[in-house]
Amino acid sequence: MIALTLSEVPGAWPDALAEQPRTDLPCHTGDPDLFFAERPEQLEQAKALCGPCPVRAECLAAALARNEPWGVWGGEILDHGVVIARKRPRGRPRKVAA
């Protein structure tokens, strides 16, 4: 498996953003795995980190244009190129005691 930073992903940023190194963005300074996590609570943490990001709108637009398969982009969770409100946990739901 090859690990890439988001700045190395082809088309990850619009050209205007790619020209400038961005060390102030949460996806560049934090744990990149958080933005592609399996656990819903981790994805919610990633979404929260995107809140104050100065390129949030551009990030989401670029991800949608690329039909990004999964992950948090621009403060939204993408699944098969579509924005979803929440990711369900893996496995069967717990039974609720009556």
At 28-38, the pLDDT tens digits run 888 989 999 99
Residues making up the annotated binding site are 27, 50, 53, 59
Supply the pLDDT for residue 13. Answer: 52
Within a domain: residue 26?
no
| Residue linked to tokens 């717990």 | 94
Q: Which residue has the higher pLDDT, 24 or 40?
A: 40
Integer Cα distance of 41 and 98 in angstroms: 26
Task: Give the CA distances from residue 67 to residues 16, 17, 19, 29, in Å, rounded to whole numbers and listed in that order.
Answer: 20, 19, 22, 24
Residues making up the annotated binding site for [4Fe-4S] cluster are 27, 50, 53, 59
Within a domain: residue 93?
no
Within a domain: residue 74?
yes
* Cβ–Cβ < 8 Å for 17, 58: yes
Supply the pLDDT for residue 69. Answer: 95
Within a domain: residue 5?
no
Residues 26-84 pLDDT 10s = 888 889 899 999 999 999 999 999 999 999 999 999 999 999 999 999 999 999 999 99
Q: What residues make up the domain containing 63?
A: 31-86
